[in-house]
């Protein structure tokens, strides 16, 4: 041993030879050697490393293992911290990447779902350079080209739908399996069908044997079948139905329903009207004829009685005249030939003029006929001729049906109609009143509460019908209130002239 950093120079010659220490031998043999063992000199475990120097001697360093282990532990700690940091970083990065990827997939799924629903306006709008963005762009392109292709198809479908929903006629489509494939809203409303009728057989949906017969007939013969169905139930209807076999594939039947309830009702009303009018006319005509025949006989044999028959002829001729005049008025009003000329008119003078015409008749019956029209009402928007006719008919009825010593008042009051100032006119009598069951039909042509009494008093049964039509034309519907035993009030409303376009 030439020197030792831990041993004083004087003691060096007494140190034993280190030539055969394993690390020294290794250093001689292979240029580098190392070993760990308990040191003889200082009695601690040491790590020895030996290497030859330029001069051929061997240099050896020794480090206590405790320090080596400390250094190792420090390295391991650093490695652990670095690994944890790397793991956290990797986790964060994968979370971020997963977030962006799943968002892109979400966008793609959204577009795909929208397309499946038929909405081709949705776009993923992915802008990256990865495969997902490529897929997104491909999907956007697909949606775009489908949207262009679908446009005319949709327009066609919408047009057909609009035509069908605008049709008043009901349409029912029966598919090849004999089940309801489609119904229009009009038909659902006509037959009060629920949305669940699609998929049922026509009989299950509509419960009508006749319709079932038509469907079967059209199916069996391949020819159009038509009939008029009478439907009872909540909303009784008369429907004209045509069941047409569809040409081409897929096969099926198309049933078209036309609601003729109103047409048939009007036809029956017209028939009734003609029958009523003929009947009304026949009675006075027959009376005139038989009175004329008897008159001829009376003139020869009983000149005194002749006057009586002349009177019958006169009275019936007058009645005929009233009837024909009322019928003509009604027909003119209904066919809109009776042109109304609206103007701004004060109500009071119009009412006074009509009352004057009836004054004598009222006095004869001792009925107090008065006007109650406040001066400050202002002008009404009215056609004076129609107004006077309405008042005439109402006052005529009040005088006709009220007993002696009662009162009839024509009353006018300021009111409002649809938020605008208006004038309400009423003809109020204290006569016998009308039973409630007659009120809904009172304004029908030829409707009378007591036919015999009306005829006897010269009534035609058309007066209130004319009043109703004229009031509708004047703008306010006629209304009636009546209490048996205490009297009847007929009322209607006119617009105030200063607030309406005259």
Q: Verify cis geometry, omega within 30 degrees of 0, for the bond prior to 250.
A: yes
Here's the x/- map for ligand ADP, 43-82, by CB under 6 A: it reads as ----------------------------------------
Residue 459 binding ligand ADP, by CB under 6 A: yes
Residue 401 binding ligand ADP, by CB under 6 A: yes
Say if strands 420-429 and 343-345 run parallel, antiparallel, or are unpaired: unpaired
φ/ψ of residue 225, rounded to 5: -120, 140
Say if strands 368-372 and 407-417 run parallel, antiparallel, or are unpaired: parallel
Shortest approach of ligand ADP to residue 290 CB, angstroms?
A: 23
- Whether residue 390 contacts residue 474, with contact meaning beta carbons closer than 8 Å, is answered with yes
Residue 425 binding ligand ADP, by CB under 6 A: no
- Residues 310, 49: Cα–Cα separation, whole Å: 166
Residue 284 binding ligand ADP, by CB under 6 A: no
Span of 77-85, 241-249, 443-451, 493-501 interacting with ligand ADP by CB under 6 A: 443-451
Span of 46-54, 72-80, 119-127, 440-448 interacting with ligand ADP by CB under 6 A: 440-448
CA angle 399, 400, 402 (to 5 degrees): 65
Closer CB to ligand ADP, residue 191 or residue 442? Answer: 442
Residue 461 binding ligand ADP, by CB under 6 A: yes
Shortest approach of ligand ADP to residue 465 CB, angstroms?
A: 6
Residue 7 binding ligand ADP, by CB under 6 A: no
* Among positions 136, 202, 432, 476, the unique one binding ligand ADP when judged by CB under 6 A: 432
SS3 content of the chain, % helix, strand, coil (to 5): 55, 20, 25
Give the 3-state secondary structure of residue 483.
Answer: strand
Identify the bridge partners of residue 180 per DSSP, sorted by sequence position.
Answer: 174
Size of the site for ligand ADP (CB under 6 A): 21
Closer CB to ligand ADP, residue 252 or residue 431? Answer: 431
Span of 122-130, 278-286, 376-384, 427-435 interacting with ligand ADP by CB under 6 A: 427-435
Span of 114-122, 150-158, 367-375, 428-436 interacting with ligand ADP by CB under 6 A: 428-436
Q: Kindly state the tokens that stand for 129.
A: 């350079």
Burial of 60-96, coded b for 16+ CB within 10 Å and e otherwise, reads bebeebeeeeeeeeeeeeeeeeeeeeeeeeeeeeeee
φ/ψ of residue 41, rounded to 5: -75, -50
* Among positions 449, 473, 500, 502, the unique one binding ligand ADP when judged by CB under 6 A: 449
Shortest approach of ligand ADP to residue 342 CB, angstroms?
A: 25
* Among positions 170, 431, 475, 476, the unique one binding ligand ADP when judged by CB under 6 A: 431
Shortest approach of ligand ADP to residue 199 CB, angstroms?
A: 53
Give the 3-state secondary structure of residue 32.
Answer: coil
Residue 434 binding ligand ADP, by CB under 6 A: yes
* Among positions 208, 488, 491, 493, the unique one binding ligand ADP when judged by CB under 6 A: 488
φ/ψ of residue 194, rounded to 5: -85, 170
Residue 491 binding ligand ADP, by CB under 6 A: no
- Residues 323, 463: Cα–Cα separation, whole Å: 10
Closest CA to 333 of 463, 424, 243: 463
Say if strands 487-496 and 368-372 run parallel, antiparallel, or are unpaired: unpaired
Span of 143-151, 188-196, 311-319, 424-432 interacting with ligand ADP by CB under 6 A: 424-432
* Among positions 450, 456, 498, 499, the unique one binding ligand ADP when judged by CB under 6 A: 450
Span of 112-120, 176-184, 344-352, 452-460 interacting with ligand ADP by CB under 6 A: 452-460
Residue 367 neighbours by CB under 8 Å, 6+ apart: 399, 402, 404, 405, 406, 407, 408
Span of 4-12, 47-55, 267-275, 394-402 interacting with ligand ADP by CB under 6 A: 394-402
Span of 14-22, 50-58, 108-116, 444-452 interacting with ligand ADP by CB under 6 A: 444-452
* Among positions 406, 426, 460, 493, the unique one binding ligand ADP when judged by CB under 6 A: 460
Handedness of CA 146, 147, 151, 157 (dihedral sign): positive
Shortest approach of ligand ADP to residue 335 CB, angstroms?
A: 20
Residue 329 binding ligand ADP, by CB under 6 A: no
Shortest approach of ligand ADP to residue 360 CB, angstroms?
A: 19
Closer CB to ligand ADP, residue 145 or residue 486? Answer: 486
Shortest approach of ligand ADP to residue 253 CB, angstroms?
A: 50
Closest CA to 214 of 366, 434, 223: 223
Give the 3-state secondary structure of residue 128.
Answer: coil
Residue 383 binding ligand ADP, by CB under 6 A: no
- Residues 98, 92: Cα–Cα separation, whole Å: 10
DSSP 34-48: EEEEE-TTT-SEEEE
- Whether residue 415 contacts residue 350, with contact meaning beta carbons closer than 8 Å, is answered with no
Residue 218 neighbours by CB under 8 Å, 6+ apart: 224, 225, 243, 244, 245, 253
- Chain residues that interact with ligand ADP, rule: CB under 6 A: 397-398, 401, 429, 431-432, 434, 442, 447-450, 454, 459-465, 488
């Amino acid at each position: 041993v030439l020197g030792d950093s831990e041993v004083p120079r004087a003691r060096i010659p007494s140190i034993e030879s280190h030539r055969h220490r394993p690390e020294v031998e290794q250093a001689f043999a292979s240029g580098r050697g190392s070993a760990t063992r308990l040191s003889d000199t200082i009695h601690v475990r040491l790590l020895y490393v030996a290497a030859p120097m330029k001069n051929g001697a061997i240099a050896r360093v020794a480090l206590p293992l405790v320090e080596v282990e400390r250094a190792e532990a420090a390295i391991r700690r650093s490695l652990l911290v670095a690994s944890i940091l790397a793991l956290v970083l990797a986790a964060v990065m994968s979370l971020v990447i997963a977030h962006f990827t799943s968002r892109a997939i979400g966008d793609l799924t959204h577009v795909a779902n929208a397309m499946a629903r038929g909405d081709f306006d949705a776009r993923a709008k992915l802008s990256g350079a990865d495969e997902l963005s490529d897929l997104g762009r491909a999907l956007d392109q697909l949606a775009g080209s489908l949207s262009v292709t679908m446009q005319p198809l949709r327009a066609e479908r919408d047009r057909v739908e609009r035509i069908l929903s605008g049709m008043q006629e009901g349409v029912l489509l029966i598919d090849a399996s004999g089940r309801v494939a489609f119904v229009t809203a009009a038909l659902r409303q006509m037959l009060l069908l629920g949305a669940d009728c699609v998929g049922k057989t026509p009989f299950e949906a509509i419960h009508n044997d006749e319709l079932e017969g038509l469907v079967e007939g059209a199916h069996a013969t391949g020819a159009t079948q038509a009939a008029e169905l009478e439907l009872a139930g909540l909303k009784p209807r008369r429907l004209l139905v045509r069941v047409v076999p569809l040409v081409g594939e897929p096969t099926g039947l198309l049933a078209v329903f036309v609601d003729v309830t109103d047409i048939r009702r009007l036809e029956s009303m017209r028939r009734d009207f003609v029958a009523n009018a003929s009947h009304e006319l026949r009675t006075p005509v027959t009376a005139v004829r038989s009175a004329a025949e008897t008159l001829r006989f009376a003139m020869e044999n009983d000149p005194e009685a002749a006057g009586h028959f002349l009177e019958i002829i006169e009275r019936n001729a007058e009645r005929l005249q009233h009837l024909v005049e009322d019928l003509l008025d009604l027909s003119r009003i209904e066919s809109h030939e009776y042109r109304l000329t609206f103007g701004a008119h004060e109500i009071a003078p119009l009412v006074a003029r009509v009352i004057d015409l009836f004054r004598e008749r009222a006095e004869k019956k001792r009925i107090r006929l008065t006007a109650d029209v406040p001066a400050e009402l202002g002008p009404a928007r009215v056609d004076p001729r129609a107004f006077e006719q309405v008042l005439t008919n109402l006052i005529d009825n009040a005088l006709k049906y009220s007993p002696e010593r009662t009162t009839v008042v024509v009353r006018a009051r300021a009111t409002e109609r649809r938020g605008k100032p208006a004038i309400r006119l009423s003809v109020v009598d204290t006569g016998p009143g009308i039973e409630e069951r007659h009120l809904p039909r009172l304004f029908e042509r030829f409707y009378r509460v007591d036919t015999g009494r009306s005829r006897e008093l010269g009534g035609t049964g058309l007066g209130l019908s004319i009043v109703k039509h004229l009031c509708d034309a004047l703008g306010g519907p006629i209304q009636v209130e009546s209490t048996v035993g205490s009297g009847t009030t007929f009322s209607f409303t006119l617009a105030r002239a200063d607030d309406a376009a005259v």
